[in-house]
Structure 1
Amino acid sequence: MTTRKTLILTTAIALCATGTVAQDVTLTIESWRNDDITIWRNQIIPAFEAAHDGISLDFQPMAPAQYNSALNSKLDAGTAGDIITCRAFDASLQLFERGQLADLTDLDGMANYSDVARSAWSTDDGAQTFCVPVASVIHGFIYNAEIFAELGLEVPTTEDEFFAVLDAIEADGSYIPMAMGINDQWEAATMGYANIGVNFWNGEDGRAALIAGESRLTDDAWVEPFRQLARWSTYLGRGFESQSYPDSQNLFTLGRAAIYPAGSWEIAGFREQADFEMGAFPPPVPAGTDGCFISDHTDMGIGLNAASPNQEAGRIFLEWLSSDEFANLFANAVPGFFPLSSAEVTLEDPLAQEFLGWREQCESTIRPFHQIVSRGTPNLSNESWTAAANVMRGTWTPEEAGEALQSGLSSWYEPHQ
């Protein structure tokens, strides 16, 4: 290491240790999380500033749909803020490759994150990391506990038990067994296929094998989740084909459906809208399966603008993001968005705690098509929306869905040619 690099590193460590800077600094934070503005301004920012003299934070979010293009323009023009909230995978990787996000590989706090947590904000080989992993969302099923009690139902843990519960709800006839539509398509892939599929392709091992070209989307591990989705159609209620995402949310929160294939991001909204007790269970495991997996999908990271004049202060803030204090503060302020660090976290919301507790029981993985295999045309992630929806409406067989996805991937991705 050169003398200059040693000096910079030593200075940064000293600053991080003291939490102070030589002169007052204001760090501007770019983000798409405009729904979290009061949480940042009333909880997160005061907590940080109280412990870090001389560093102020200015949270400046923008509309989510405009974020990527606006951020790119600001970075290119040299007008972006100091701190960059990072989308997962390729959008942020491209910023790093253009030299617009700082390399954070040597940040002390990175030791608090697993390879899976860092994967969304690391180079393909995992050698460099450019954003601190902040939060993930976990997939599973939310259920109406009052309906379960009324019908004498036990929470299912296996695939057979899951379908037995759905059959019992359908036979009673008082409630829609499961609230999900396919009008918007992404639900079928995200809350359907990616939710339950993890136990068929064995989580990270299966995802890595697909990236490496060692498994194919026509293999049974990737087709079987489509077979499960085809069975779901019986339990979704009349007109599910034209049912939108908000329609499904309303059916559940109004108490008309017993089960909701979910992401943990629903927790805060459901708490406001539903007047019944809720519980949650992870994706049921197939018969004969050892262990279990959950889709614990990386959602948000935070990085440092490489052109920021406030590098030292920025790194102090990023170190704080990897602390137990921030993990507990964020997890309770935004229930359903879970810290990705190894911090000990205690959640006040019991439903959020149920989701988080699955990490102790099952291995975590991420959505299967979000890294590397969706960089070409056709985009595999987007194509999975169509495939899952077509299977559920009965226009494709599960096997046809696997063949269509494999054909698209093989058309551009070298490991599958």
Structure 2
Amino acid sequence: MLALCLSLPCGVALAQDVTLTIESWRTGDLAIWNEKLIPIFEAENPGIKITFSPIASADYDTSLSSRFAEGTAGDLIACRPFDRSLQLFDAGYLAPLSDLAGMANFSALAQMAWQTDDGKTPFCVPVASVIHGFIYNRDAFDELGLEPPATQADFFSVLDQFKADGSYVPMAMGLHDRWEAATLGYENIGPSFWKGEEGRQALISGKQKLTDPQWVLPLEVLARWKPYLGDGAGEHTHTDSQNVFTLGEAAIYPASSQEIAELEAQVGFQIGAFPPPVAEDGDDCFISDESYIGIGMNAKTPHREAARKFLAWLATPEFANLYANALPGFFPLSKSAVSIDDPLAQEFLSWRSRCASTLPFTSAPLSRGTPSLVQETWAAASDVMNGTETPEKAAERLQAVLTAARLSH
């Protein structure tokens, strides 16, 4: 030690730098982490280096499980919401984070996707959600002198005016991939009918059924959409409908906020956004604020202290602002107020201040069962929109799936 002090200033830490590896399925975020996020953390935490190591989304779950079993998984783990990450925690692969500094910065709803069913043990820091709503062609609206609709009656009035004018497809939405009808249709507009978390929790507890009026009514609304979707909508993929909108051929586009950057890079006209119209004038506003990504810690990381320091940083207002502006459309879940430079992303985010956030009702635990309620909701919503099943029959089918799942558990 004396010899070392002769060659180094005494008091300087002698330990070597620690390098932490982040596992993720977000391959497109590599440059953002390397250029905008990691350098800030490393500058504030000398001695800790971060390597962002993404894997293609389709391979992520299988690859990660294999490497956990082999003991080769990274120190920090990007967490998908609900059961996929809960299974990793139950297997002992993710560490509990109950005592992590900063977890109090997240609401109970924000933590719900990354905690045990009893709500007592979080295992991933909530990082971001995506919000669903409607993006519209401002230029097209201006041409017809229209304003974004606030109610369902307003919404159909706008669609009717675009249909009568004939210059634009009133709404670009493909039905071929099926998930759009559920995610961008039923679960987008539905919370205004079933009152967001109030309805979702009542469904979980068994106090409500999917055949109750508040769950059937949004399906009846969806059944009215198809005449406004343009020719061939039944065969259009989501990419097809996105192209129709970005080419300026459609007025309205049901969308997730995660599409913001992609859309802005392609359109040659002004775009805006509006939240799901409420059922009737004076009703409270609700938005589908879908938990998307968290980050947890490998329970067997040899760098526990450094990893926890990074996770605590994820809970800070500083990180929330950095992340929100680095990835417009992916919104931090901490209670900290953030301001986003991108106007469209800021518009989506502003809905949180006037609308109540809710999770998709097909999130866990209702998605546990065979067949999956998620997949069945895709099918039911698309069948209703295609006119091959009535809203009432679709609701009965979904309730039967939910009842079977309850019996199996």
- TM tier, shorter chain? over 0.9
Letter in 1 for 2:261: A
Within the candidate set 330, 343, 353, 1:350 is matched to 343
Q: Does the Cα contact within 8 Å between 1:378 and 1:409 map onto a contact in 2? A: no
The reply on whether 1:66 has 2:59 as its aligned counterpart is yes
Match of 2:303 in 1: 310
Letter in 2 for 1:377: T
| SS of the residue 1:84 aligns to | strand
The reply on whether 1:176 has 2:169 as its aligned counterpart is yes
Q: Does the Cα contact within 8 Å between 1:140 and 1:282 map onto a contact in 2? A: yes
Q: Does the Cα contact within 8 Å between 2:289 and 2:359 map onto a contact in 1? A: yes
Match of 1:251 in 2: 244
Q: Deviations over 1:87-134 (max 9, x none)?
A: 000000011111110001111211110111100001111111000000
Residue 290 of structure 1 and its aligned partner are, at CA, apart by 3.0
Letter in 1 for 2:406: Y
Q: Does the Cα contact within 8 Å between 1:138 and 1:297 map onto a contact in 2? A: yes
Within the candidate set 205, 212, 215, 2:205 is matched to 212
The reply on whether 1:142 has 2:135 as its aligned counterpart is yes
Q: Does the Cα contact within 8 Å between 1:175 and 1:258 map onto a contact in 2? A: yes
The reply on whether 1:156 has 2:156 as its aligned counterpart is no
Letter in 2 for 1:261: P
TM-score using structure 2 length: 0.95
- The count of residues paired between Structure 1 and Structure 2 equals 397
Letter in 2 for 1:200: F
The reply on whether 1:188 has 2:207 as its aligned counterpart is no
Within the candidate set 196, 203, 221, 1:203 is matched to 196
Report matched runs for 1:87-102 at 5 Å: 87-102=80-95
| SS of the residue 2:223 aligns to | helix
Letter in 2 for 1:108: A
Match of 2:19 in 1: 26
| SS of the residue 1:194 aligns to | helix
Residue 216 of structure 1 and its aligned partner are, at CA, apart by 0.5
Match of 1:402 in 2: 395
Aligned-residue CA RMSD (Å): 1.3
Residue 414 of structure 1 and its aligned partner are, at CA, apart by 3.5
Residue 21 of structure 1 and its aligned partner are, at CA, apart by 10
Q: Deviations over 1:343-378 (max 9, x none)?
A: 121101000000000000011001111111111101
Letter in 2 for 1:317: F
Unaligned runs of 5+ in 2: 1-12
Q: Deviations over 1:318-352 (max 9, x none)?
A: 00001111111111111000000011211010000
Unaligned runs of 5+ in 1: 1-19
Residue 221 of structure 1 and its aligned partner are, at CA, apart by 1.0
The reply on whether 1:386 has 2:375 as its aligned counterpart is no
Q: Does the Cα contact within 8 Å between 2:368 and 2:405 map onto a contact in 1? A: no
Change in Cα spacing, 1:316 to 1:154, as seen in structure 2 (3 Å) is: same
TM-score using structure 1 length: 0.94
Structure 1 CA distance, aligned partners of 2:404 and 2:182? 21
Q: Does the Cα contact within 8 Å between 1:21 and 1:313 map onto a contact in 2? A: no
The reply on whether 1:167 has 2:160 as its aligned counterpart is yes
Report sequence identity in percent.
58
Q: Does the Cα contact within 8 Å between 2:163 and 2:228 map onto a contact in 1? A: yes
Residue 22 of structure 1 and its aligned partner are, at CA, apart by 5.5
